[in-house]
Amino acid sequence: MIRLQCVLSALLIHLLLPMPVSSATPDHIILVMADDMGWGQTEYANHPILKTPNLNAMAANGLRFDRFYAGAPNCSPTRATVLTGRTNDRTGVLNHGVPLRPQEKTVAQALKKAGYATAHFGKWHLNGMRGPGAPILKDDIRSPGAFGFDTWLSVTNFFDRDPILSRMGKFEEFQGDSSEIIVDEAVKFIQKNVEAGKPSFSVIWYGTPHSPFMADEDDKAPFPKLKDPSLSHYGELVAMDRSIGTLRSALQEMDIAENTFLMFNSDNGGLPRITPGTVGNLRGFKNSVYEGGLRVPAIIEWPAVIQTPRVTQFPACTMDIFPTLVEIAELPESSMLSVRDGMSITPLFQKEIAQRPEPMGFRHTNRVALIDNDYKLITQKLGSGKYELYNLKSDQQEKMDLLESQPEIAQRMIAAMQAWNESIEKSIEGDDYPEGKVIPADPGPSTWMTLKEYEPYLEGWKDRPEFRRYIKIQ
Ligand SMILES: [Ca+2]
């Protein structure tokens, strides 16, 4: 009865104070990201054998992107774009295992300031460590805590079954599938905040389906014709999809699904040498600036605002996440550095937008791709003066180079690419920071196995499957 009264009074308030959809603010925000999942690896993208019932259900209740781009074709760089709304090279994250600059402004810091409880779960890969994921040290100046996460249960890089995770510096061993472990922990965090009446921001970064490939026998059962590594790779995706179901059910049970902004995407394109293929019919794989390296699955579910589920063809990217959250969580503009690359995509929550007003740029290890709606300009080597031009609408597989046949479009896009690239060079020098320079200087990538803080653990870890290739004890 009390519950019915609550529902009725809530309904009455809703009727009396109709809230324009554009000013809705989500009570809970959850960003979920797969690691190395290709554009073709969902059932809704017609994968030949993989079933993803929970991603299907999420897509059927939200906004599914057909043209969503990871900010970069590999790990750490894309993670930097999610947190900052800026292309990776501006943030100092030039490649995998290169650390994020402490001078960057992050979405976690902004939401924390706005009263959200903030948490990171899983793969971090922004503290400058290469090699397999180790639990992050408490005092790491580039831990999730240092970038605005109140609480964290995180590893330096990729992780798999039965991982050791760091709970804000305290190392804990877990049993089971890595996706399910971090989703269970995220649900506990969200539940605690729901009970406290506090809004929350959770970042769930899976270690799946990145190597090592280790899956539960039951999760491999749907693929009797596959052999490892493909077999375990696909088995991991079965568990990951199930964890999406666990998360969505928990939101329903807590009665918060309606006004929770839940986003899923991958951090880069799919892997080569996996069968069946990972990238649909696209060209290239992870680490390539062709579509197979950059285009990834993505879905946003927010029933209170995205009331008519659909598939959008609008080109969007991970740099759009922070500007979008600035708008919907009503964060101050100063939450972000003024030089930014993404745009708020909130208008898309109501209806299709024909054109993206500004091109999207991607820069990674001296290569650049610029996507201006249907057209894509690529240079495989900055400064070489060599370019490729494709029309993605008529040639999604990037087979027909239009550089010669479309000289006007090529010239316009080359000029835009050069201007964009010059602005990145300034960012790399530190121009976007109040100090006008980079402090401390970028240290470059490192490996935790060589740090003295990890020395006491090496003997105990050296036979673990995820570490044995890497830990060499004299
Ligand atoms: Ca990855």
Mean pLDDT of 143-163: 97
Ligand 1 mean position to 271 CA, how many Å?
Answer: 9
Is residue 56 within 8 Å of 41, Cβ to Cβ?
A: no
Ligand 1 mean position to 208 CA, how many Å?
Answer: 9
Q: Would you state the pLDDT for residue 361?
A: 98
Mean pLDDT of the chain: 95
Q: Of 307-311, 312-316, 461-465, which gets the smallest average pLDDT? A: 461-465
Neighbours of ion ligand 1 (CB under 5 A): 35-36, 75, 267-268
**Among candidates 331, 312, 351, which has minimal Cα distance to 85?**
331
Q: Would you state the pLDDT for residue 23?
A: 56
Q: Would you state the pLDDT for residue 20?
A: 42
Dist CA 111 CA 335 (whole Å): 9
- Of all residues in the chain, the percent with pLDDT exceeding 90 is 93
Q: Would you state the pLDDT for residue 276?
A: 98
- Of all residues in the chain, the percent with pLDDT exceeding 70 is 95
Given a cut of 50, whether residue 176 has pLDDT beyond it is yes
Ligand 1 mean position to 66 CA, how many Å?
Answer: 19
Q: Name residue 28's beta-bridge partners.
A: 200, 260
Ligand 1 mean position to 105 CA, how many Å?
Answer: 22
Ligand 1 mean position to 474 CA, how many Å?
Answer: 31
At 54-99, the pLDDT tens digits run: 999 999 999 999 999 999 999 999 999 999 999 999 999 999 999 9
Rounded to two decimals, what is the model's pTM? 0.94
Name the pairing type of β-strands 117-123 and 28-34.
unpaired
Given a cut of 70, whether residue 334 has pLDDT beyond it is yes
Given a cut of 50, whether residue 14 has pLDDT beyond it is no
At 201-251, the pLDDT tens digits run: 999 999 999 999 999 999 999 999 999 999 999 999 999 999 999 999 999
Ligand 1 mean position to 366 CA, how many Å?
Answer: 19
Q: Would you state the pLDDT for residue 5?
A: 53
Domains and CATH numbers, the chain: 28-348 (3.40.720.10), 360-429 (3.30.1120.10)
Q: Would you state the pLDDT for residue 241?
A: 98
Q: Would you state the pLDDT for residue 24?
A: 86
Please name the residue ranges forming H helices in 143-220. 178-196, 217-220
At 350-400, the pLDDT tens digits run: 999 989 999 999 999 999 999 999 999 999 999 999 999 999 999 999 999
Residue environment code for 398-426, b if the CB has 16+ CB neighbours within 10 A, otherwise e: beeebbeebeebbeebbebbeebbebbee
Given a cut of 70, whether residue 179 has pLDDT beyond it is yes
Ligand 1 mean position to 421 CA, how many Å?
Answer: 24
Is residue 346 within 8 Å of 288, Cβ to Cβ?
A: no
Dist CA 282 CA 40 (whole Å): 9
Contacts (Cβ under 8 Å, ≥6 apart) of 39: 45, 266, 269, 270, 278, 279, 280, 282, 291, 292, 295, 296, 297
Mean pLDDT of 191-209: 98
Ligand 1 mean position to 19 CA, how many Å?
Answer: 39
Ligand 1 mean position to 211 CA, how many Å?
Answer: 9
Q: Would you state the pLDDT for residue 388?
A: 98
Q: Would you state the pLDDT for residue 2?
A: 46
Ligand 1 mean position to 297 CA, how many Å?
Answer: 13
Ligand 1 mean position to 36 CA, how many Å?
Answer: 4
Q: Would you state the pLDDT for residue 124?
A: 98
At 421-460, the pLDDT tens digits run: 999 999 999 999 999 999 999 999 999 999 999 999 999 9
Q: Residue 17: which pLDDT band, with cuts at 50, 70 and 90?
A: very low
Ligand 1 mean position to 207 CA, how many Å?
Answer: 8
Specify the DSSP class assigned to residue 348: G
Region of residue 26 (phi > 0: left; psi between -120 and 50: alpha; otherwise: beta): beta
Ligand 1 mean position to 74 CA, how many Å?
Answer: 5
Ligand 1 mean position to 25 CA, how many Å?
Answer: 30
Ligand 1 mean position to 471 CA, how many Å?
Answer: 22
Dist CA 47 CA 25 (whole Å): 35
